[in-house]
């Protein structure tokens, strides 16, 4: 039961002792619900960012392995061409076979360059994801995972390999 004070005396209702205002209870319940929804949304965003970082780190590691394998393929193609040219000079091969080995080497070099470009793009993507987080919402600005540590190790190894091969 509520007591009403006439307008001239303030015009407010005064709840009896022990009773709570139903409007206040509804506002508190709404605030709790909003808080729970916001926390759940924040957690989803954290998980999304972590997944993006892991995916980007896997891309870097995969790209690094691809660079290494295409580098090995190029080295093999160079050795194969060298061997075929020596056979040609000795009269044991034809110009056609030497030309095929030259073509194979050119294809291997292009594949290696493409792998290096893809790798560098994946490194940039990893850096973007790590630095940006979810910058649009400002919820998470930086996440570090074990995968990013491995990716940074791969990045250093690739930089060293690129320096020794002249960036090829």
On whether residue 56 sits in a domain, the answer given is: yes
Domain range for 86 is: 21-165
pTM as predicted:
0.60
Contact between 56 and 124 under an 8 Å Cβ cutoff? The reply is no
Better-scored residue on pLDDT, 137 or 91: 91
Average pLDDT of span 129-144: 56
On whether residue 3 sits in a domain, the answer given is: no
Place of tokens 């973007």: 128
Count of other CB atoms within 10 angstroms of residue 136: 7
User: Tens digits of per-residue pLDDT, 140-159?
Assistant: 444 444 444 444 555 555 55
On whether residue 153 sits in a domain, the answer given is: yes
Number of domains in the chain: 1
Q: Find residue 15's DSSP bridge partners.
A: 2
Place of tokens 């594949």: 111
pLDDT at 43 (0 to 100)? 92
To the nearest 10°, report the CA torsion of 67, 70, 76, 81. Answer: -120
User: Tens digits of per-residue pLDDT, 32-74?
Assistant: 999 999 999 999 988 998 899 999 999 999 999 999 999 999 9
On whether residue 117 sits in a domain, the answer given is: yes
On whether residue 40 sits in a domain, the answer given is: yes
pLDDT at 145 (0 to 100)? 42
On whether residue 158 sits in a domain, the answer given is: yes
The lowest-confidence range among 45-49, 91-95, 98-102 is 45-49
Report helix angle 22-89 to 95-132, nearest 10: 160
pLDDT at 141 (0 to 100)? 45
Contact between 54 and 147 under an 8 Å Cβ cutoff? The reply is yes
Mean of pLDDT over the chain: 80
Q: In whole angstroms, what is the distance from residue 28 CA to residue 21 CA?
A: 11
On whether residue 9 sits in a domain, the answer given is: no
On whether residue 11 sits in a domain, the answer given is: no
């Amino acid at each position: 039961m509520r007591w009403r004070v006439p307008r001239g005396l303030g015009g407010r209702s005064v709840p009896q002792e022990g009773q709570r205002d139903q409007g206040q209870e509804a506002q508190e319940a709404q605030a709790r619900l909003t808080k729970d929804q916001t926390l759940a949304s924040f957690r989803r965003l954290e998980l999304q960012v972590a997944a993006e970082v892991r995916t980007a780190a896997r891309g870097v590691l995969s790209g690094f392995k691809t660079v290494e394998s295409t580098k090995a393929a190029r080295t093999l193609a160079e050795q194969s061409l060298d061997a075929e040219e020596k056979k040609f000079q000795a009269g044991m091969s034809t110009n056609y076979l030497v030309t095929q080995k030259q073509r194979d080497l050119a294809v291997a070099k292009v594949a290696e360059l493409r792998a290096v470009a893809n790798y560098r793009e994946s490194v940039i993507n990893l850096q973007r994801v790590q630095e940006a987080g979810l910058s649009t919402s400002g919820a998470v600005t930086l996440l570090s995972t074990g995968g990013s540590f491995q990716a940074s190790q791969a990045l250093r190894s690739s930089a060293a390999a690129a320096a020794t091969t002249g960036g090829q």
